[in-house]
Amino acid sequence: MPKEEGQASWETIAAHKQAERLSRIPKEWLLHSLPADPTTNVLDVPRKSGILDEKELYITDNFDATLLAHAIAVGKLRSVDVVRAFCKTNCLTEIFFDAAIQRAEYLDSHLKITGKPLGPLHGVPISLKDTFNITGYDSSIGIASLAFNPATENALLAQVLLDAGAVLYCKTNIPQTLMSLDSENNLFGRTLNPANRLATAGGSSGGEGALIAMRGSVLGVGTDVGGSVRIPAMCNGLYGIKPSAQRVPYVGQEGGALLGASMIGLPASAGPIAGSLRDCEMLMRVVGEARPWERDPSVVPGRWDLLDDLGFQGEEPERRTVIGIVRTDGLATPLPPITKVLEEVVRALRKTSTVDVVEMDITPLFKQCQSLTNAFFGIDGNNHILSLLEKTGEPLVTWLAPRLKRKKGKSTDEVRELHARKMELETQFLKVWRDSEGRRIDAFVCPVAPHPVPPIDRWNGVGYTSSFVLLDYPAGVRR
């Protein structure tokens, strides 16, 4: 792929970018040697490396974000010790450890002087996917032509977290173009699954998933337009939430697309990835309390705590929760390990006294989703993202090379037709939320994928996640 005249090559930019990243890590925090090639599980590297002391290991091993926030607020832990501990384990793109430690010191001083935390996330370190703009740092999303162009303003969600007292200390790796369900790019390389380096860490928020699995982060934020929060959560044994679009502020991100493209395509959502479900809820609650709709016109007003008391007129107060079971999308039949896990979930739910379980066959509608979703992804014919790569002569990574081609962008009428089909499908899906007795179904459970965590670059069956982006349903993965 020839580069633009006068533009540095992608190889030169990548070398400089990796050198910059290395310069931001204290030498004493670097591994003396990498794990031997036959070693597939590297989850114990932080403990065996000698880089973290016993107090730091105690912090990283025994707290979720909710418990850390409490421990810091009551003075049991200092933010600076917590932040330094989590800085020592990383698989990152952008590093701002020095600024993070300075902020933690300020927050510790603030608490000591005032006796009050700055906010509900006071002193808690939070990692972000590389797409989020942070003032003074790149949002290159692994593309050479976007490197060395630092953001001049924080993404709104990043600012909301800072206002709540959080400490932002790093950004994490993603796949080139954000269009694959692994996490490899030419700028930073590939993120591996720490539980099994032969398996995928998922994508496109794969850096977040791997970092949290390694206990290098206690709470992270990814984005999802096809499964990019939920798939890394599954691959790394975590919780991940994809809210509906317009629930969490998205403004101030680099996605490799022209501004406004999401208004004619499928909008992505930002959501938490964490080791505990309550941490996901804590982040969603903090976002709602910040009233982001006053600063981002695309966010729908609504605080998280209002959802606690949602009622449905005419329903008995002791109504049982109704959970549907969806066993297949009608295109890719789940393999036996997946059907086994789903059946275990069904048995557990049926033993719960307050839950009724109903089978749902929605395959006539479900199997229409994937092809329509794919059509939305190709609205501009991939031309803008490929032009970004061509500026520096950057090649596509191995998985993308045979799959991502320039095409003619869709016409206005073709885009209108896609939205018409989407509206019709959304309308038809409203009918699945009543069972045969007319009862409202509160939620349904289905596989994340038709297969277990696969080898690198072998994820398949994206319809189980992308369909809920098309329908704009909230969706989550639990460990």
Of 17, 88, 129, 422, the active-site residue reads 129
**pLDDT value for 393:** 97
Single-letter code of the amino acid located at 89: T
Who contacts 332 (Cβ-Cβ below 8 Å, separation ≥6)? 450, 460, 461, 463, 464
CB half-sphere exposure, 407, CA atoms < 13 A = 13
Q: For the chain, how many helices (H) and strands (E)?
A: 15, 12
Q: Is the pLDDT of residue 306 over 80?
A: no
**pLDDT value for 479:** 85
**pLDDT value for 247:** 96
341-366 per-position pLDDT tens digit: 999 999 999 999 999 999 999 999 99
The model's confidence at residue 310, banded by pLDDT at 50, 70 and 90, is very low
| 467 has catalytic annotation | no
Q: Is the pLDDT of residue 277 over 90?
A: yes
What's this model's pTM, rounded to 2 decimal places? 0.96
**pLDDT value for 303:** 87
**pLDDT value for 416:** 98
Rounded-to-integer distance, Cα 419 and Cα 230, Å: 25
1-40 per-position pLDDT tens digit: 677 777 899 999 999 999 999 999 999 999 988 898 888 9
Q: Is the pLDDT of residue 139 over 80?
A: yes
Which residues sit opposite 200 in a β-bridge? 192
Question: How large is the angle between the packed helices 97-114 and 79-87, nearest 10 degrees?
Answer: 160
Averaged over 403-420, what is the pLDDT? 97
Q: Which two tokens stand for residue 435?
A: 């069972």
**Residues across the chain:** 479
The model's confidence at residue 319, banded by pLDDT at 50, 70 and 90, is confident
363-391 per-position pLDDT tens digit: 999 999 999 999 999 899 999 999 999 99
45-54 per-position pLDDT tens digit: 999 999 999 9
Single-letter code of the amino acid located at 24: R
Rounded-to-integer distance, Cα 360 and Cα 178, Å: 33
The model's confidence at residue 273, banded by pLDDT at 50, 70 and 90, is very high
The contacts found for 61-64 with CB under 8 angstroms, 24 or more apart, are 61/215, 63/218, 64/218, 64/219, 64/274, 64/275, 64/276, 64/278, 64/279
Pairing of strands 125-129, 219-224: parallel
The DSSP secondary-structure symbol of 329 reads: -
The model's confidence at residue 307, banded by pLDDT at 50, 70 and 90, is low
**pLDDT value for 236:** 98
Pairing of strands 184-185, 189-190: antiparallel
Averaged over 74-90, what is the pLDDT? 95
412-421 per-position pLDDT tens digit: 999 999 999 9
Rounded-to-integer distance, Cα 65 and Cα 56, Å: 15
| 228 has catalytic annotation | yes
The DSSP secondary-structure symbol of 151 reads: B
**pLDDT value for 462:** 93
**pLDDT value for 317:** 63
Rounded-to-integer distance, Cα 375 and Cα 379, Å: 7
Who contacts 164 (Cβ-Cβ below 8 Å, separation ≥6)? 118, 119, 120, 121, 122, 286, 289, 290
Pairing of strands 321-325, 269-274: unpaired
Of 228, 269, 466, 467, the active-site residue reads 228
Of 204, 205, 276, 466, the active-site residue reads 204
Count other C-beta atoms under 10 Å from residue 67's C-beta: 17
Q: Is the pLDDT of residue 314 over 60?
A: no
Longest dimension (CA), the chain: 71
Q: Report which of 112, 106, 48, 111 is spatially closest to residue 80, judged by C-alpha positions.
A: 106
Q: Which two tokens stand for residue 351?
A: 């033993």
| 129 has catalytic annotation | yes
**pLDDT value for 1:** 66
User: Which of 94-98, 253-257, 457-461 shows the lowest per-residue confidence on average (mean pLDDT)?
Assistant: 457-461
436-448 per-position pLDDT tens digit: 999 999 999 999 9
Cα-Cα-Cα-Cα torsion 71, 72, 77, 81, nearest 10 degrees, comes to 140
Q: Is the pLDDT of residue 235 over 80?
A: yes
